[in-house]
Chain A
């Protein structure tokens, strides 16, 4: 088990580093100047050169990357160019917001997706199954930022039930704070609901046709016992799907967080891109890449608990 964990970890680290190097290069390929965020738009070239030196941006890109990486490995992600705040504290504040949103969205998505998937799997081929499949396909196909705008138009503008944007006052977690999360969480949940539902439906339908299920039924096992065996069999694959989706929710909510002005990592990334805030962009991408890698690692660790064959292989 330990060697399995170490092997997975050994795979994870180079992936995170490769992602960071790739993102670092991509940022420099983009046009524009990172100092546009700190200088007035009418600053002269002379002024820009002066400030460039003070931020260390006059050094070759490879040198900048090496400096950044060595600091990052020591936990120092540098300072945001646009705000001067530590990148780590910027990400720390945002990641908590994204995490709660992602957890709420994944709870909605996975519960709903799994429940509807199981129903679809059990009623495979029926009208109900076709209806549920249509819902799943809609969830996956509808652009979530569009869904967000529609939800705002209905629940905020028309019905005035829920806030349209923002995260409320940032003190205690209470209903007021929670109310700001509902619309973005529902919007974010649409895709995982569809994906989880389709995966679970296919797994349930497939597993129900396997011989061991017939064997269980033939042995006189009750529906509950059969269902327990069914869950054990589909759990590893479903977990892998869920893990990837949670990762997407953390990293892939740029549009939804922008539509709702939710102060999470997606909005942070969007702002960093708009402002060419390279340290912030690099730091956020690295942290999200690490989060993604760790999440997959966690899923890899959980899978053998349901299916010991995985660790043996």
Chain B
């Protein structure tokens, strides 16, 4: 024991290496906090990504990229209100102070920009900068066009036809069709600094380590695949959201056990997505597990092509009543929320569906009997699932429980396990694609941040593959009519009521097998204070402090 403690103290003496002494002296001399990992007021985060999200603006690495780089260093015209962990997240003004559709021409939107906002390089944010940023992803003839950012952003704004500067602080958007959901799309497109891009020689590669946006965090260090250091932007336009921390260190740690080890050894303060089997031990070791339901759903997407058993509503409802979601929650260490629809019940879009999605095996068996099936005479189906994947939670474990539950009511499931990317490729190709190989369900988890991603894209008859991702080829004129109404309703309250109506139909017709919502677990040390986990994929790092 003595030897161990001697060695421990010997190793700990590395804190007194010349390099650190130099750094401390420098920090003291400059009177500022040191950007290194052990400085006070620094939050060290282990992300699940394999690389640092690109600090170009329209970043990569999926939602985690937007969480840590897209919405920290950069901003869009519209933002999310992420200040509450109980209220539904709403859209709020960000770089635009107000926006409205032209009452005479519903294809024309006018956005008023926030005055006095500066990019991190000191240049002014204005209407020309907005046009320049949209051109970087929409106009492949523009000198600032970036295929990487276009790949990430273009698909988010399919209805944007053109963007024009009216004056220094007014921008006009023209859409290809009447699109009342445009604000939900605009919030994806973040603003990079044109002046900085010009200053670094008009190169996006050179821009990366010298990135400049308008966000509450500035990029200080960018080492691909190793680390990024963000420091607070003291000149941020919203004084209430100037970060309380001095800096934030982002580390890519894709291996879940390595993230847990890093947290437990004190190397990081915050880890994304701890593995379910590590949660209890982390709690026992005094770490906080923070989670909240967010716009995510883990369903089985049902095929509605001719001959699919899921065309029978009794079978769809029976399957929904057969799943023991509470049992599944226990299996996942509590890290899920049972789904009663495509959006959580707390969402304003949930509505008041008459069909209650719950665990009622007796009712499920009765419905299956009406459809002509039983445990003895089962319905045989094939399901495409993946062993892992972004947002897929614990797919094997969860699907095996579903298989067991469905067997109890007379649905015999054969799994077609595919690589996550292969599953996504089939999801885009649709249920009629020969690659579906007789499967009538696919299990892809979905982002449901706005009415389009939550509902429309899955069941709009105009979005069957290859045009869209209506995998199951569902078609119902009544549903299409509601979607058209949503797209043309500009009053936010009336639009919300219409989305709720669409969702009620979604649930009442049991269009999917609704299983779970993820709860975005994060583990952090008790030193991390002030974090508010909102009902959202994104979070606000500004109020966080380190004790």
Contacts and interface: CB of A to CB of B under 8 A. Distances in A.
Given A42-B457, A85-B205, A170-B226, 8 more contacts: A31-B422, A51-B151, A83-B51, A83-B54, A84-B54, A156-B261, A174-B17, A263-B226
A101 interface: no
A290 interface: no
A153 to B, nearest CB: 7
A125 to B, nearest CB: 34
Given A33-B421, A179-B11, A260-B258, A39 B467 contact: no
A153 B258 CA distance: 10
A52 B252 CA distance: 27
Contacts of A82: 51, 60
A303 interface: no
Contacts of A165: 253, 255, 258-259, 261-262, 267
Contacts of B465: 45
B62 interface: yes
Nearest to A84: B148
Contact of B469 (A42, A83, A258): A42
A33 B424 CA distance: 9
Given A36-B421, A42-B447, A176-B19, A263 B225 contact: yes
Interface in A53-74: 54
Interface residues of A, number: 61
Interface string A152-168: 11001101111111110
B265 A160 contact: yes
Given A33-B424, A85-B224, A163 B267 contact: yes
B271 to A, nearest CB: 11
Given A152-B261, A167-B226, A32 B36 contact: no
Interface string B69-93: 0000000000000000000000000
Contact of B224 (A83, A153, A275): A83
Contact of A41 (B225, B259, B390): B390
A91 B97 CA distance: 45
Contacts of A258: 254-255, 258
Interface in B117-167: 147-148, 151-152, 154-156
Given A83-B51, A274-B50, A153 B261 contact: yes
A3 interface: no
B422 A32 contact: yes
A276 B19 contact: no
Interface in B6-64: 7-8, 11-12, 14, 17-20, 36-37, 50-51, 54, 60, 62
User: Which residue, of A82, A85, A157, A270, has the highest number of chain B Cβ atoms within 10 A?
Assistant: A157
Contact of A31 (B4, B154, B418): B418
Contact of B466 (A46, A94, A159): A46
Contacts of B37: 169
Nearest to B151: A38
B257 A179 contact: no
B428 A152 contact: no
Interface in B510-542: none
A261 B252 CA distance: 8
A41 B424 contact: yes
Contact of A161 (B11, B154, B419, B428): B11
Contact of A261 (B224, B258, B265): B258
B67 interface: no
A40 B262 CA distance: 29
Interface string A170-214: 101011100100000000000000000000000000000000000
Interface in A2-32: 30-32
Nearest to B35: A169
A32 B467 contact: no
Interface string B212-234: 00000000000111110000000
Interface in B234-281: 251-255, 257-259, 261-262, 264-267
Contacts of B290: none
Contacts of B419: 30-32
Interface string A207-234: 0000000000000000000000000000
B468 interface: yes
B441 to A, nearest CB: 18
Given A33-B424, A263-B225, A175 B14 contact: yes
Contacts of B226: 166-167, 170, 263
A179 B14 contact: yes
Contacts of A267: 50, 225
Q: Kindly list the 10 A-B residue pairs having the minimum CB-CB distance in the complex, ordered from nearest.
A: A32-B421, A31-B422, A45-B466, A156-B265, A164-B261, A271-B50, A161-B11, A164-B265, A157-B264, A165-B258
Contacts of B457: 42
B429 interface: yes
User: Which residue, of A41, A85, A153, A161, has the highest number of chain B Cβ atoms within 10 A?
Assistant: A41
A313 interface: no
A48 interface: yes
Contact of B14 (A160, A176, A275): A176
Contacts of B259: 165
Given A174-B17, A261-B258, A268 B225 contact: yes
A47 interface: yes
A38 B152 contact: yes
B14 A45 contact: no
Contact of B262 (A41, A164, A270): A164
